[in-house]
């Protein structure tokens, strides 16, 4: 029988040789074949081609193949991008391929490389030594390299973009305009102002892909591809989304994406903030009231349209009343102020007072007047002036009348349906009897709400209308009592 130790010695020799081979290969790969080294060798050839004068020859002589990096502790950056992008500050490098080309010059003039690095503007993984890792699109890296046209999204970190040369930030500015035009503020807050149906967007640009629902997106997964797809078809990306399809073109989706990515509250040292940004921060401390027409466009339009027609909204499964139609004629300024300030709890109509939607009291008054000043409201106002005082009615009789005449549209017990909810406490508290009576008598022109009393007195009598109003009033109190009872039992249970 053979000596087994001989076999073991052979095995040991071979495995050692294999391990050594791997080590050698790794060393060669790291020191001679690394992507950045190949790039620098290719760049040295370019330098040689361009070494036509004394200065050029000197640059060639002094060129070393070495790992280059810019370290900017104040911005938390160690950027090795210059290991490949070696020609970014050489004005001769205009007709060469990437990564050797001269950088857009004015940018680096205002933001010197050794003070800013690269990733503060471009994102990407600064420490990477190959382009795949530097791009970091499929690696576990929060902020991958932005596509070239979206790089402008990062200027907002340190600038008030509306003060930058417009050609530097065309997409962001366009997205900013679209945000107002498409009334995105109806459902989203920025700096504390806006609706409540969707999330606040102040820091949207710093969200990572892991915070978004990716199931319905095709790879590669990046936040900018997500946003573009989501703007084109919100419910296709987030099933059941109540974000009404904003109907945007591909170009508009890209501009809105650039604007979303620019919303970033990244802390950079004060010394890195441009003077325009500091002025902007200062202005934000004392907001000025905006004109009502602009407020309406920004915060109401997405849901109410121009307000002259009421309509059933499929996305919300709810009726949206015409707030600049006959309603605005019948309603007092105080009624409208309350509706706007308090909203309608349990519906999509959000509260707009300063602690909720962030509107100043002055602005809410201006909005109420704006609704009342609509053409439809003015022509209908004289009808309201002829309203008669309402007698005390009988709620039980009113309930019968309501079921027969109103429940088909307003729902049994006024819970809403194809017509607005009437049992809503905010509505009932703000609507006085003559408002209700006028609405029932005259209906609402250009909406489905019929007039229940004709000028000759046919239809419901004044007494019947009083009964219905008594019934509507009775809807307010029982639900409040139940709520209080529930509060009590909850308090009791916790003892």
Quick one: 130 or 474, whose CB is closer to ligand HEC? 130
Quick one: 225 or 244, whose CB is closer to ligand HEC? 244
Locate 317 and state its tokens: 């499964």
Sole binder of ligand HEC in the list 93, 367, 380, 470 (CB under 6 A)? 367
Q: Is 444 in the site for ligand HEC (CB under 6 A)?
A: yes
- Interaction residues for ligand HEC, span 46-75 (CB under 6 A): none
Q: Is 254 in the site for ligand HEC (CB under 6 A)?
A: no
Quick one: 50 or 441, whose CB is closer to ligand HEC? 441
- Interaction residues for ligand HEC, span 13-32 (CB under 6 A): none
Question: Residue holding tokens 């409208």?
Answer: 336
Q: Distance between CA 70 and CA 483 in Å, rounded?
A: 63
Quick one: 147 or 478, whose CB is closer to ligand HEC? 147
Computed over its alpha carbons, how large is the radius of gyration of the chain?
A: 34
Sole binder of ligand HEC in the list 113, 190, 415, 451 (CB under 6 A)? 113
Q: Distance between CA 109 and CA 191 in Å, rounded?
A: 32
Q: Distance between CA 89 and CA 92 in Å, rounded?
A: 9
Q: Is 334 in the site for ligand HEC (CB under 6 A)?
A: no
Q: How far is the CB of 146 from ligand HEC (least distance, A)?
A: 8
Q: Distance between CA 369 and CA 335 in Å, rounded?
A: 11
Number of residues that bind ligand HEC (CB under 6 A): 124
Q: Distance between CA 316 and CA 77 in Å, rounded?
A: 46
- Interaction residues for ligand HEC, span 210-249 (CB under 6 A): 212, 227, 234, 238, 241-244, 246
Q: Is 471 in the site for ligand HEC (CB under 6 A)?
A: no
- Interaction residues for ligand HEC, span 176-195 (CB under 6 A): 179, 182-184, 186-188, 195
**Nearest in space to 117 (alpha carbons), one of 272, 278, 336, 238:** 272
Q: How far is the CB of 494 from ligand HEC (least distance, A)?
A: 33
Q: How far is the CB of 450 from ligand HEC (least distance, A)?
A: 6
Q: Would you say 121 and 151 are in contact if contact means Cβ atoms under 8 Å apart? A: yes
Q: Distance between CA 72 and CA 114 in Å, rounded?
A: 7
Sole binder of ligand HEC in the list 126, 351, 358, 393 (CB under 6 A)? 126
| Per-position x/- string for 291-330, each x denoting binding to ligand HEC as judged by CB under 6 A, each - no binding | --------xx-xxx-----x-----x-xxxxxx-x-x---
Q: How far is the CB of 248 from ligand HEC (least distance, A)?
A: 7
Quick one: 53 or 362, whose CB is closer to ligand HEC? 362
Omega before 99 cis (within 30°)? yes
Q: Is 470 in the site for ligand HEC (CB under 6 A)?
A: no
- Interaction residues for ligand HEC, span 398-437 (CB under 6 A): 405-406, 408-410, 416, 419-422, 424, 427, 436
183-188, long-range: CB < 8 A, 24+ apart = 183/297, 183/298, 183/299, 183/300, 183/301, 183/302, 184/246, 184/302, 185/298, 185/299, 186/298, 186/299, 186/300, 186/301, 186/302, 186/303, 187/242, 187/243, 187/302
- Interaction residues for ligand HEC, span 144-183 (CB under 6 A): 145, 147-149, 151-152, 154-155, 157-159, 164-165, 168, 179, 182-183
Q: How far is the CB of 223 from ligand HEC (least distance, A)?
A: 9
Q: How far is the CB of 327 from ligand HEC (least distance, A)?
A: 4
**Nearest in space to 263 (alpha carbons), one of 348, 183, 172:** 172
Locate 390 and state its tokens: 């309402």
Q: Distance between CA 342 and CA 332 in Å, rounded?
A: 16
Q: Is 86 in the site for ligand HEC (CB under 6 A)?
A: no
> Which residue is closest to ligand HEC by CB?
310
**Going by C-beta distance under 8 Å and a sequence separation of 6 or more, which residues neighbour residue 23?**
none
**Going by C-beta distance under 8 Å and a sequence separation of 6 or more, which residues neighbour residue 427?**
339, 344, 420, 421
Quick one: 59 or 108, whose CB is closer to ligand HEC? 108
Q: Distance between CA 474 and CA 466 in Å, rounded?
A: 12
Q: Is 103 in the site for ligand HEC (CB under 6 A)?
A: yes
Quick one: 129 or 399, whose CB is closer to ligand HEC? 129
Signed CA dihedral, 28, 33, 35, 38: sign only: positive
């Amino acid at each position: 029988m053979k000596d087994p130790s001989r076999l073991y010695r052979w095995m040991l020799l071979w495995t050692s040789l294999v391990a050594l081979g791997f080590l050698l290969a790794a060393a060669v790969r790291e020191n001679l074949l690394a992507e950045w080294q190949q790039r620098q060798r290719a760049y040295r050839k370019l330098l040689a081609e361009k070494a036509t004068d004394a200065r050029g020859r000197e640059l060639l002589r002094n060129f070393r193949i070495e790992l280059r990096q810019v370290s900017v502790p104040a911005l938390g950056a160690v950027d090795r991008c210059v290991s490949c992008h070696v020609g970014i500050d050489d004005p001769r490098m205009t007709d060469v391929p990437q990564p050797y080309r001269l950088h857009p010059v004015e940018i680096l003039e205002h933001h010197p490389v050794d003070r800013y690095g690269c990733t503060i503007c471009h994102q990407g993984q600064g420490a990477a030594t190959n382009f795949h890792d530097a791009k970091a699109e499929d690696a576990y890296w929060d902020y991958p390299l932005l596509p070239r046209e979206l790089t402008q999204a990062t200027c907002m970190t340190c600038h008030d973009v509306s003060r930058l040369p417009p050609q530097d930030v065309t997409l962001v500015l366009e997205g900013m305009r679209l945000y107002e035009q498409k009334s995105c503020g109806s459902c989203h807050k920025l700096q504390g102002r806006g609706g409540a149906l969707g999330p606040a967007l102040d820091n949207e640009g710093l969200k990572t892909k892991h915070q978004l629902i990716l199931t319905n997106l095709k790879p590669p997964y990046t936040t900018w591809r997500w946003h573009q797809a989501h703007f084109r078809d919100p419910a296709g990306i987030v099933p059941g989304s109540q974000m009404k399809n904003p109907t945007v073109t591909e170009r508009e989706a890209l501009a809105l994406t650039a604007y979303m990515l620019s919303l970033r509250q990244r802390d950079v040292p004060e010394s890195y903030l441009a003077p325009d940004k500091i002025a902007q921060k200062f202005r934000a401390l004392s907001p000025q009231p905006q004109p009502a027409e602009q407020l309406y466009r920004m915060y109401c339009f997405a849901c109410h349209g121009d307000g002259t027609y009421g309509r059933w909204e499929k996305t919300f499964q709810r009726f949206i009343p015409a707030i600049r139609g006959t309603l605005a004629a019948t309603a007092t300024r105080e009624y409208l102020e309350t509706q706007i300030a308090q909203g309608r709890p349990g519906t999509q109509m959000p509260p707009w007072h300063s602690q909720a939607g962030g509107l100043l009291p002055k602005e809410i008054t201006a909005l109420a007047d704006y609704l009342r000043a609509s053409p439809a409201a003015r022509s209908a106002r004289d009808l309201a002036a002829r309203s008669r005082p309402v007698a005390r009615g009988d709620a039980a009789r009113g309930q019968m009348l309501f079921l027969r005449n109103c429940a088909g549209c307003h729902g049994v017990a006024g819970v809403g349906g194809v017509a607005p909810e009437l049992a809503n406490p905010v509505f009932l508290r703000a609507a006085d009897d003559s408002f209700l009576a006028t609405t029932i008598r005259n209906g609402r022109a250009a909406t489905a709400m019929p007039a229940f009393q004709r000028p000759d007195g046919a239809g419901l009598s004044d007494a019947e209308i009083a009964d219905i109003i008594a019934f509507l009033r009775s809807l307010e109190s029982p639900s409040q009592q139940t709520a209080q009872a529930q509060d009590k039992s909850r308090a009791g249970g916790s003892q």
